[in-house]
Amino acid sequence: MSESVQVIIHRIEQIEKELQELKLELVELKKILPPTLETLELTNEFAGYKLKTPIPLKVEYNREENIWCMGNPELELYGCGETLTRALRDAEEVFKALIEEYVLEDEASLDEDAKKLREALLQHVEVSP
């Protein structure tokens, strides 16, 4: 093996070691720094539906499980994922299901709790019959 190849291999090993040290530092920082995002507000359109009023979602990061979660208990809207984007996509799927099950469903077939959820959803979203 030529000397220049050995130098390159040695430099790559140094870079890999430095990268590993930076990863460890990042893990330690995540332990002491709270996530900066506490609430996310959905506006305009979400999951293909036009929103009449913003929908606030409380955002949390679970350091032990490395998972992002967001939710709005009033609307029973939740989403979780390995990244904030995946959590939002999960919430989008849940929102679609909520609209289908509570808003688009015949109101007469819903029990009282379901009707309350339907009304709460309708305060935020425009749905065409």
Long-range contacts formed by 39-43: CB under 8 A, 24+ apart: 40/70, 40/88
Is 7's pLDDT higher than 90? no
Return d(Cα 46, Cα 12) in angstroms, integer. 45
Q: What is the C-alpha to C-alpha distance for residues 61 and 35, in angstroms, rounded to an integer?
A: 7
Residues 22 and 43 in one domain: no
Please write the tens of the pLDDT for every residue from 76-118. 999 999 988 999 999 999 999 999 999 999 999 999 999 999 9
Q: Which structural domain, as residue segments, surrounds residue 107?
A: 39-126
Give the residue from 68, 6, 9 showing the smallest Cα distance to 37.
68
Q: Is 0.85 topped by the overall pTM?
A: no
* 43 and 29 inside one domain: no
Looking at the structure, tell me whether residues 28 and 43 fall in a common domain. Answer: no
Looking at the structure of the chain, the number of domains it has is 2
Assign residue 54 the CATH number of its domain: 3.30.160
Clarify whether residues 26 and 85 are in a common domain. Answer: no
* Residues 54 and 93 grouped into a single domain: yes
Same domain? 105 vs 122: yes
